Amino acid sequence: RHGQTDWNKDGRIQGGTDNPLNSTGREQAAAMSRLMAEVKVDTVYVSSHQRARQTAEVFQGRTPIVAMDELRERFFGKFEGANDKDAAIVADWNKRRFTWTDDMEGGETLESQSRRAEAALKTIREKHKDGGTVVIVGHGGINPLLVSHLIGVPPQEGASAINQGNDEIYQIVLPKTGAPAIWKLIPRSKLNEL
């Protein structure tokens, strides 16, 4: 997932609003680069939102970076920008955001976002039929859907059950036969949250 933005820091519903990384987010991206320095990556696929592109810039010059609109975060309509100070709005958002066909009053449905995630994975898999290592830099809403599709969990269930914080990395191994394996790599700074 991309590094922190000011809206992440402020607990705002960011969704499709195209915010840049803040200084913490840039530090998180640099730490990710150090963590993955020895990993040979064939291609980095990234959401076209600037916060994801800025996070992926750490791979610039060492591997191709491909921006994909399919990996963008879901637009949450009237809920964009709300935070805990807007308690009634946030409570309504929390009640509705995992409803499959709710467009969030002018936004995108979870069903539509799930179809985009599935289409992105199809494109990526077609380009890497012979295997390899790819990195996907996405968002807190699209990444659980990607993981769900990859490991065979119903996407609506995965969307509500999988929580990925800023700068957290999932490593997923998709063998030619057998079940996928998944690990969540947690930064040292978050060990106290376990």
Give the residue numbers annotated as catalytic, written as ranges: 2, 73
First to last CA, the chain: 19
Measure the CA–CA gap between 124 and 128, rounded to whole angstroms: 6
Measure the CA–CA gap between 73 and 69, rounded to whole angstroms: 9
Q: In what order do the strands lie in the sheet with 65-68?
A: 65-68, 43-47, 134-137
Give the number of other CB atoms < 10 A from CB of residue 29: 22
